[in-house]
Amino acid sequence: MIKFKLNGSVVETDAPSTVRLLDLLREEFELIGSKEGCGEGECGACSVLVDNLVQNSCLIPIGALEGTDVQTIEGYSKTPQYQVLNECYATAGGVQCGFCTPGMIIATEALLSKNPHPSEEEIREGISGNLCRCTGYNMIVDAIQLAAKKGDGLW
């Protein structure tokens, strides 16, 4: 039995400890916002926050989660910070197919919570673990710059 916090509630699972967090989220908890892109820790589509740090859920065996605090895009979407990011990504045109977006949003939260006023270079570095196949990254960078302005005081 593995017990951890998921989007604010304590949960337990009897799944084997080697199961990937990404599979547990999608299959057992039906949280399908975290996506599987590469399955190898390269694309960031599966990003979640574990104890407030951005992590690739495709690389985490659930045995490592005991006692941790996991937040997925579903939980994060209930926060005021998400509302700002949602609006700014839409305004800046940072979402095209949307496949990378949940992971990008999670990476953005991790960045802004550490550094509420990042430079363009720091933004590019902050999302460097997240790939978007649809677009250059300029609109995403614009969205994050906008969010840092609009959400001033939230992070």
Which of 77, 134, 145, 150 touches ligand FES (CB under 6 A)?
134
Angle between helices 80-92 and 138-150 (to 10 degrees): 140
**Pairwise CA distance, residues 46 & 54, whole Å:** 10
CB 34 within 8 A of CB 52: no
Assess 107 for contact with ligand FES (CB under 6 A).
no
Which of 16, 27, 38, 52 touches ligand FES (CB under 6 A)?
38
Q: Classify 36 as helix, strand or coil.
A: coil
Q: Report angle CA 96, 91, 124 to the nearest 5 degrees.
A: 70
Which of 3, 117, 133, 149 touches ligand FES (CB under 6 A)?
133
Minimum separation from the CB atom of position 59 to ligand FES (A): 7
Q: Which is nearer to ligand FES, 6 or 43 (CB)?
A: 43
Residues that bind ligand FES (CB under 6 A): 36-39, 41-46, 56, 58, 95-101, 132-134
